[in-house]
Structure 1
Amino acid sequence: MQNHSVADRLASCLTETQIQFGLPEATEVTLVVYDVMGRVVRRLVDRRLQAGHKRVSFDAAGLASGTYFYRLRTERFTRTRRLTAVK
């Protein structure tokens, strides 16, 4: 779990935002956005990524205003953060 970093702030977006994170080594990564009921609304990443700083765009167009959660999962690390979509 050490040496991983994720933007640790509540994110608000009008239509698009960027989720940033760092990987200390190459690893399998999933980055998924869920609604408050736990349903998957977007699968942003589901593949192996090389080490380094990453930015993933999330386009909230087509989603209702409200609270969502994104979960970043690697082979050694899981982090969940809240995201608020404002239209």
Structure 2
Amino acid sequence: KIKFDLPENTRVTIKIYDILGREMRTLLNSEYRESGRHIIEFSASGLASGVYFYKLTAGEYNAVKKMVLIR
């Protein structure tokens, strides 16, 4: 699960990258979201155990967070 809060209505993009920077998944692609708390669930099927990063872009805001997938 990826949780985030939006202070205002905006378009959101969330992409998953592997440790080498290769894009593995797009969870949201410039989708309109209203302000408030959001929880995005995704299936990790097809992804190997390891370290991944997700990049969240919401309007002018960008954040990259690390996550570890353990099978």
Cα separation, 2, equivalents of 1:35 and 1:22: 24
Partner residue of 2:41?
57
| Percent of matched pairs sharing the same residue | 37
Calculate the TM-score normalised by the size of structure 1: 0.77
SS of the aligned residue for 2:45 comes to coil
Cα separation, 2, equivalents of 1:22 and 1:43: 19
Which of 41, 56, 60 aligns to 1:72? It is 56
- TM superposition shift of 1:76: 1.9
**Runs (4+) of structure 1 moved beyond 2 Å?**
none
User: Between Structure 1 and Structure 2, how many residues are aligned?
Assistant: 70
Cα separation, 2, equivalents of 1:24 and 1:61: 32
- TM superposition shift of 1:74: 1.2
Q: For structure 1, list consecutive stretches of 5 or more residues without a partner in the other structure.
A: 1-17
Q: For structure 2, list consecutive stretches of 5 or more residues without a partner in the other structure.
A: none
Which of 5, 10, 20 aligns to 1:27? It is 10
- TM superposition shift of 1:69: 0.1
